[in-house]
Amino acid sequence: MIRKFLHRIFSLGSAESVPADPAVAVIGCEQHSITRNRISPGSLKVALTLQQAGYTAYIVGGAVRDLLLGLKPKDYDVATSATPEEVRAVFRHSRIIGRRFRLVHVISKGETVEVSTFRGKASEALITTKNFCAHTDATGRLLHDNVFGSQEEDVRRRDFTINALFYDPATEEILDYLNGFKDVMAKRLRIIGEPEQRYREDPVRMLRAVRLSAKLGIQMDDKTAAPIGDMAPLLLNVPPARLFDEMLKLLFSGHALTAVIDLRARGLHHGLLPVLDVILEQPLGEQFISLALKNTDERVQQGKPVSPGFLFAALLWHEVLAVWNAHLKVGEKTIPALHKAMGEVLSAQRNRLAIPHRHDGMIYDIWSMQPRFEARSGRKPFRLLEHPNFPAAYDFMLLRCKSGEIDQELGQWWQTFKNTDNAGREAMLLQEAPARRRRKRRSRSKSAGEKVDAVSQEIA
């Protein structure tokens, strides 16, 4: 099938895939390692089908960069001269998505390929295009960026030179307008254009710079790095939902530990996770977060599933502990104080980073189950074991042990309890102290809330 496409394209002369533009360097396949068969079948088909329909189409962005670096691309993006509606008309299994950037998602060979129309410089397009308008807010942040443009303009509106290489699957050539190929080879992250203006237009580019340097093990060049410290407050102006998406990409990049350390070093965490300041300054908090991030990085690198709920529960745990302790100090009861602390920490965090409510259940379960690991007599450990979120809460408790927050012995007890049969579990139960039993009996006549409280005080 693909051979048939190629034959048709080449016999058409493929005028559009060979640039006559002197500003572009054409890097032949003898100079790079990207042969057609390294491209995902779905994106290859999408690019070639668009070319066959008479449009220009290239594989762009992270996939070209990652292939040059010998990494497996996370996803494939296609850039084309076809408008979203024209792309829709070519592919039956496709839909237009996005408000800020209108893109088309094409389902091809079981893959979702993101297809974007070449975009131009917003300010010039304001004058020349009737149908699209570009606006910035008071800080210079672009609010709309849906102005179509030429291939070269599209290259220049991208963020970093290493993300601005176009790969033509028909010719196996790379088109390079901005010396991105040299930058990939030198492992250098260089922003396109004037750095301050580019960060002002879209402050998320600062987060992308941190994520990409950590993920790819490359260095930002001085001009790219210099304005970040001063411009970090601009992140406060980015919609919290977009920040959450970008933060999730960073935390699940497989290099979260390096990226979070770098975020903090550059002052970028203030608008995202301001609690990091407090937490990372205490040895226990620092140890806990480092372990949680290292654990997440290992899981991502091994292709194991990761849960945003678990990670945010970990990032905020030492803040919950601090607020919980403050409530206990003024005489509040253990479990209600914990629940109050959980709600307060999560809603304060939400003002900065919109952690979607769908993760609340997991976060609250993980936190509220922690005191229950202390109870190792009667039926309580059996009930805890049956909780649907027990595995996550258990992993979390092990991290607390490892970080030195609680006794290792507790973790070992649960490890054995979890992995043994029922008879073994019965034999492991600790005896309830008689005094405790009496207190518990007395509490039988109390309300449900007070009972939970009595148990938690026994636990504490």
How many residues touch Mg ion under the rule CB under 5 A: the total is 2
| Residue pair 107/41 in contact by the 8 Å Cβ criterion | no
- Tell me: does residue 158 bind ligand ATP (CB under 6 A): yes
Q: How far apart are CA 72 and CA 65, in angstroms?
A: 10
Number of helices (H) and strands (E) in the chain: give both, helices first: 24, 10
Alpha helices, H only, 330-407: 334-350, 360-369, 380-385, 390-402
| 197: enclosing H helix or E strand | helix 195-201
Closer of 179 and 457 to ligand ATP (Cβ)? 179
Q: How far apart are CA 272 and CA 240, in angstroms?
A: 9
- Tell me: does residue 111 bind Mg ion (CB under 5 A): no
CB of 75 to Mg ion, least distance (A): 5
- Can you say whether the dihedral through the CA atoms of 417, 418, 421, 425 is positive or negative? positive
- Tell me: does residue 61 bind ligand ATP (CB under 6 A): yes
| Pairing mode of beta strands 77-80, 166-168 | unpaired
- How far is the first Cα of the chain from the last one, in angstroms, to the nearest whole number? 68
**How far does CA 282 lie from the centroid of its chain?**
26
| 168 is annotated as an active-site residue | no
Q: How far apart are CA 246 and CA 203, in angstroms?
A: 11
Task: Find the residue with minimal CB distance to Mg ion.
Answer: 62
Q: Judge residue 139's burial from the number of C-beta atoms within 10 Å of its C-beta, 0-12 exposed, 13-18 middle, 19 or more buried.
A: middle
Catalytic residue among 66, 145, 159, 365: 159
| Structure tokens given for 283 | 């040895």
CB under 6 A: which stretch of 199-207, 230-238, 315-323, 381-389 binds ligand ATP? 199-207
| Structure tokens given for 135 | 């606006």
- Tell me: does residue 163 bind ligand ATP (CB under 6 A): yes
| 145 is annotated as an active-site residue | no
Catalytic residue among 66, 77, 202, 365: 77
Closer of 17 and 116 to ligand ATP (Cβ)? 116
Interface with ligand ATP (CB under 6 A), residue from 14, 25, 75, 107: 75
Closer of 64 and 291 to Mg ion (Cβ)? 64
Interface with Mg ion (CB under 5 A), residue from 75, 153, 395, 432: 75
Task: Find the residue with minimal CB distance to ligand ATP.
Answer: 62
> Which residues from 112-151 bind Mg ion, rule CB under 5 A?
none
- Tell me: does residue 74 bind ligand ATP (CB under 6 A): yes
Q: How far apart are CA 231 and CA 211, in angstroms?
A: 17
CB under 5 A: which stretch of 30-38, 61-69, 166-174, 277-285 binds Mg ion? 61-69
CB of 157 to ligand ATP, least distance (A): 6
Closer of 159 and 176 to ligand ATP (Cβ)? 159
Interface with Mg ion (CB under 5 A), residue from 19, 62, 180, 195: 62
| 453 is annotated as an active-site residue | no
> Which residues from 202-231 bind ligand ATP, rule CB under 6 A?
202, 204-205
| Residue pair 234/219 in contact by the 8 Å Cβ criterion | no
| Structure tokens given for 148 | 């179509």
Alpha helices, H only, 270-332: 275-281, 283-301, 308-329
**From the list Mg ion, ligand ATP, none, which binds 263 (C-beta under 5 to 8 Å, kind-based)?**
none
Residues in contact with Mg ion by CB under 5 A are 62, 75
Q: Please identify every residue annotated as catalytic.
A: 75, 77, 159
Q: Please give the residue ranges that form the binding site for ligand ATP (CB under 6 A).
A: 61-62, 74-75, 77, 158-159, 163-164, 202, 204-205, 249
